[in-house]
């Protein structure tokens, strides 16, 4: 798990598209993050779970529990 660690857009794209069959465009990860935020109820203007690190990527800041 990568809680409180910044992950670049490129790294996130590599993690989600392992077979290379999909065309890449620079906003694909941004759109997916927006959809995840919406499902989680995380306000993009004042996020508490997924923070944007401008020019770098995204960071999950929620609590991670292993069971």
Q: What is the tens place of the pLDDT at every residue in 1-59?
A: 567 889 998 888 888 776 666 666 768 888 889 999 999 999 888 989 999 999 999 99
pLDDT at 63: 80
* Residue 65 included in any domain: no
Looking up residue 50, the CATH number of its domain turns out to be 1.10.10.10
Structure tokens belonging to residue 40: 């989680």
* Residue 25 included in any domain: yes
pLDDT at 1: 52
Cα(13)–Cα(7) distance, rounded to whole angstroms?
10
* Residue 67 included in any domain: no
Q: What is the total count of domains within the chain?
A: 1
Higher pLDDT, 25 or 65: 65
* Residue 66 included in any domain: no
Whole-structure pTM value: 0.74
* Residue 12 included in any domain: yes
Taken in order 27, 28, 32, 33, the sign of the CA dihedral is negative
Owning domain of residue 11: 6-60
Higher pLDDT, 40 or 67: 40
User: What region, left, alpha or beta, does residue 50 occupy, with left being phi > 0 and alpha being psi -120 to 50 degrees?
Assistant: beta
């Amino acid at each position: 798990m990568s809680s409180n660690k910044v992950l670049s857009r490129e790294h996130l794209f590599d993690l989600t598209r392992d077979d290379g069959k999909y065309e890449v465009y620079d906003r694909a990860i941004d759109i997916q993050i927006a959809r995840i935020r919406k499902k989680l109820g995380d306000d993009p203007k004042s996020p508490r779970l997924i923070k944007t690190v401008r020019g770098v990527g995204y960071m999950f800041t929620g609590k991670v529990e292993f069971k």
